Structure 1
Amino acid sequence: MPKSSRMRPRLLLAVLSTVALALAGLGVPGSAGASAPAPSESSRQYTVTGPKNAQQRTEVARTGAAIDAVLPGELTISAIPSEVAAIKKLGFTVSRPLPAPKPTPGASATSYHTYAEMRQEVDSVVAANPQITQKFVAGKSYEGRDIIGIKISDNVATDENEPELLVIANIHARERLTAEQALDYLGQLTKGYATDTRVKNLVDNREIWLMPMVNPDGQVYDMTSDTQAGRMWRKNRQPNPTSTGTDLNRNFNFKWGCCGGSSTNGASETYRGTGPESGTETKVIANFVRSRNVGGKQQLKMFLDIHSYSQLVLWPFGYTTNNTVPGSMSADDEAAHRAIGTEMARSQGFTPEQSSDLYITDGSTNDWTWGEQRIFSYTFELGTNTFYPPPSQIDQQVQRSREALLKLTDYADCPYRATGKQDQYCKA
């Protein structure tokens, strides 16, 4: 649940920051500064003027730059100098780096949940709702932090024959609002269980798996800052051959590195890793998804990866602009994805589209969960125009997606119900 109204005393903040920095300097395993080596090129934000369509945006993405936001005829990107030079060679105009977001007076980075505070929040909710919630550890991050998950269901300790869904957040470290949305969803389900018939129905008839911070090392590193502006860190903190970090959302084992939708440069924001699932956290997520394949049948029917920012609902595929792919995405599959995505986006005031309508990506969570595991898959892009919205906006932003999350949960029983084809695909 958002906690924007709760502020730490400045003295405690100072002490915690000093301890964190001291640990980093000592190279203590699991501390925010334990990773090495330093990047050979530094990434900064820029505005790119000129790209007008998906093909031109893909040309920009193929340089390795991360596209942070898409506006008419303009992009916000995060890029290293060599990528900036490549974009200029394409004939587009690249502005001077955008100024870093300014801290809100009186606010601090801890107005958002830190990793430690997320764990405390989860422990508190599970302790208060033992009949419908159960905490689990999906695995360890590169620096040894627990990747925390929560199962939500009636008879929570039993693996029942019920439709399942998985929601993950904070795969990109700087996208702090995403963890707040995930924790708010946990609050929706637990607080509403006793009073809201719709929520009770969903919890009683689904097995819901939630992972609020799947990139804890990156999140901790990004939050090692004395202002809300953070470090603008996107990747995990695993050393690579030339720099630090892998873009976990380009590291999954479906069409990995196939199509110019990721980078081979270790300093790049979209570095895809040395191979599929080479990122420690990618492997943890993928192994959990595979663990839900019981008796040769994948139990997960719905998947959501929460990102920020841009106010979008996206679905597969990202590696190709084709709406349908023989053997991978039939016309009925695409129609059901589109119908649910459009319905959710309408409730949020977001724009619904296939991932590749933005630009080509490869090795993404959505492409893997659908392409490899046949789980209906979506991405939410929350927020407005920054990775670090003022803490005062947290409540307002997460409220926008509450209804969409309930719709997603509802459709886990049979996504084809959205197009009236439930008897064809879901009849027992």
Structure 2
Amino acid sequence: MRPRLRGGRTTVLAALLSLALAAPIAAAQDRTAPAAGPAAGTTAHPRLPHQYEVTGPATPAQRTALTATGATVDEVHAGKVVITADRAQARAVRQLGYALRRLPDPPATAPAAPAGAAVKDFPSGYAKYHTYDEATKEIDALVAKYPAILSKQVIGTSQEGRALLALKLSKNVTKDEAEPEVLFTAHQHAREHLTVEMALYLLNEFTSKYGSDPRITKLLDSREVWIIPDLNPDGGAYDIASGSFRSWRKNRQPNTGSRNIGTDLNRNWDFKWGCCGGSSSSTSSETYRGASPASAPEVQVVAKFVRSRIVGGTQQIKAAIDFHTYSELVLWPFGFTDDDTGPGMTRDDHDAFAAIGKDMATTNGYTPEQSSDLYITDGSIDDWLWGDQKVFAYTFEMYPTSFLGGGFYPKDSVIPKETTRNREAVLRLLEIADCPYRAIGKEGQYCKGS
């Protein structure tokens, strides 16, 4: 159960944030500090963050206060949450008055490899996950096999020079037609490898079924589909570079004046950046927002691409899904405010968002809710896509529901089921992308020709 609790938020949040920020978290600047005592059956790795079950937080305000310590909230239940935190962040959470229980580390977790060590593959039990090079090879093979409906663009490079790709799917793929466009993005957070598999699944499904599946054929005949399969290839490579998992979240961008590495890409977007207690200014934080809006090169590249889809003054991208793990959620804007209709969103906008989100959730069994029902976030891609570009943008938090199912690292045996699980939701979003207000019966008011 994920509560939808409201009321009394501003006062409580202010008090909790003050307490959290007063906690002595300066030690978090040193990633080499010893970790908290390990749970039974685990091995302490001082360079790595760990997951903890926190008993007590039950409201969005209380959960937002947890993130002020620099930790991330990974899953939410009634009266309990799971966080990822280093030693200092865990101590700060305890100083908020909560009890913490250290959870087992991901399978085969190992200390950091020496600088310059070669990137290795996924560990045993995860070999069917794709490394960046493996994914690129599969994409190139699909482009060669289906050149009439699939094309590849290099839209920029990551911090470490890896190509960031945008794949286009459409009947007349070489032409820029006046058709509704839909964007699918994946892997903003390094440890969320299942999202790359989701992007590859969509590429394979659309290409292999075009011409034989009437529904997919009709959609590619009338839509332009964009897939950016890997926003954070550097972080993903680093997460497995030792041959096991590091539970790494951010990109691999150096931070001036600090030895802490990385920016949380999904707190770096240039809309309500750093506005509302939903990200951190500390380079040691899991949710470090970056030095300035869109300071991360990967965010710059994707934002520039999205703006390139403005044709004749109109944004051609009408809807989007950003894939994450985990918790099995369908989320919609806004994250920076708990108001249903924050600045830049009308009641009809909200109602259309909610209707489409709830409809998609009926197909995959996820829980649908406004992003801020969990906790406040600012500088997120969904808020930017709507607030800046008026794109009906959703976040899907994929399998599992909890750390008991593998958390950020479910075994590769789940890939077919958990990617296929989102097929119907994706198709429904594509079908309604030409006029999202049709979801609330107001297509005549908002959509020309309806």
**TM-score, with normalisation over the residues of structure 2?**
0.83
Q: Of the candidates 212, 217, 223, which is equivalent to residue 229 of structure 2?
A: 212
Matched, 1:101 2:90: no
**TM-superposition CA deviations, 1:358-409 (whole Å, max 9, x none):** 0000000000000111110100000113111111111111121111111111
Give the letter for the 2:311 counterpart: V
1:234 and 1:269 in contact (8 A); partners too: yes
Q: CA deviation at 1:128?
A: 1.0
Q: CA deviation at 1:102?
A: 2.3
Change (3 A) 1:261 1:106: closer
- 2:82 maps to 76
Q: CA deviation at 1:73?
A: 1.4
- 1:367 maps to 383
Matched, 1:85 2:91: yes
Gaps of 5+ in 2: 1-28, 34-46, 110-121
Matched, 1:65 2:66: no
Q: Of the candidates 414, 417, 424, which is equivalent to residue 393 of structure 1?
A: 414
Q: CA deviation at 1:106?
A: 8.6
Q: Of the candidates 315, 329, 346, which is equivalent to residue 312 of structure 1?
A: 329
Change (3 A) 1:93 1:106: closer
Matched, 1:413 2:413: no
Paired with 2:197 and 2:108, the residues of 1 have a C-alpha distance of 19
Q: Of the candidates 343, 353, 358, which is equivalent to residue 374 of structure 2?
A: 358
Matched, 1:329 2:335: no
Matched, 1:123 2:140: yes
Determine helix, strand or coil for the equivalent of 1:156: coil
Give the letter for the 1:403 counterpart: E
Higher relative contact order, chain-length normalized (CA < 8 Å, sep 6+): 1
Q: Of the candidates 278, 294, 299, which is equivalent to residue 295 of structure 2?
A: 278
Q: CA deviation at 1:40?
A: 5.9
Paired with 1:103 and 1:201, the residues of 2 have a C-alpha distance of 45
Determine helix, strand or coil for the equivalent of 1:313: strand
Determine helix, strand or coil for the equivalent of 1:195: coil
**TM-superposition CA deviations, 1:182-209 (whole Å, max 9, x none):** 1111112111112110000101100110
Paired with 2:146 and 2:108, the residues of 1 have a C-alpha distance of 36
Determine helix, strand or coil for the equivalent of 2:271: coil
**TM-superposition CA deviations, 1:326-379 (whole Å, max 9, x none):** 4x1100000000000000011000000000000000000000000111110100
Q: Of the candidates 222, 232, 250, which is equivalent to residue 235 of structure 1?
A: 250
2:70 and 2:284 in contact (8 A); partners too: no
1:112 and 1:391 in contact (8 A); partners too: yes
Q: CA deviation at 1:70?
A: 1.1
Paired with 2:124 and 2:211, the residues of 1 have a C-alpha distance of 34
1:314 and 1:380 in contact (8 A); partners too: yes
Determine helix, strand or coil for the equivalent of 1:377: strand
Q: CA deviation at 1:410?
A: 1.2
Paired with 2:104 and 2:171, the residues of 1 have a C-alpha distance of 48
- 2:214 maps to 197
Count of residue pairs the alignment pairs up: 388
Q: Of the candidates 355, 369, 379, which is equivalent to residue 339 of structure 1?
A: 355
1:39 and 1:244 in contact (8 A); partners too: no
**TM-superposition CA deviations, 1:151-207 (whole Å, max 9, x none):** 000110000000001110011010010010111111121111121100001011001
Change (3 A) 1:198 1:106: same
Q: CA deviation at 1:103?
A: 5.1
Determine helix, strand or coil for the equivalent of 1:413: coil
Determine helix, strand or coil for the equivalent of 2:155: strand
1:136 and 1:149 in contact (8 A); partners too: yes
1:107 and 1:391 in contact (8 A); partners too: no
Paired with 1:312 and 1:397, the residues of 2 have a C-alpha distance of 13
**TM-superposition CA deviations, 1:50-102 (whole Å, max 9, x none):** 11121211111222211111122111111123322222222111223x22122
Over the matched positions of the two proteins, sequence identity in percent amounts to: 52
1:163 and 1:206 in contact (8 A); partners too: yes
Change (3 A) 1:410 1:225: farther
Give the letter for the 1:235 counterpart: K
- 1:20 maps to none
Determine helix, strand or coil for the equivalent of 2:139: helix
Q: CA deviation at 1:38?
A: 8.1
- 2:161 maps to 144
2:56 and 2:98 in contact (8 A); partners too: yes
Larger mean CA deviation between 357-366 and 180-189 belongs to: 180-189
Gaps of 5+ in 1: 1-36
Paired with 2:196 and 2:86, the residues of 1 have a C-alpha distance of 27
* TM alignment of 1:118-197, pairs within 5 A: 118-197=135-214
1:109 and 1:226 in contact (8 A); partners too: no
Paired with 2:337 and 2:144, the residues of 1 have a C-alpha distance of 45
Give the letter for the 2:251 counterpart: N
1:109 and 1:225 in contact (8 A); partners too: no
Paired with 1:72 and 1:124, the residues of 2 have a C-alpha distance of 46
- 1:51 maps to 57
Give the letter for the 2:249 counterpart: R
Instruction: Note the aligned Cα RMSD (angstroms).
Output: 1.7
Change (3 A) 1:206 1:38: farther
- 1:11 maps to none
- 2:37 maps to none
Paired with 1:354 and 1:49, the residues of 2 have a C-alpha distance of 23
Larger mean CA deviation between 382-391 and 155-164 belongs to: 382-391
2:191 and 2:249 in contact (8 A); partners too: yes
- 1:17 maps to none
Determine helix, strand or coil for the equivalent of 1:281: helix
Runs of 4+ residues over 6 Å off in structure 1: none
Paired with 1:145 and 1:168, the residues of 2 have a C-alpha distance of 17
Paired with 1:84 and 1:100, the residues of 2 have a C-alpha distance of 15
Paired with 2:77 and 2:145, the residues of 1 have a C-alpha distance of 44
Determine helix, strand or coil for the equivalent of 1:275: coil
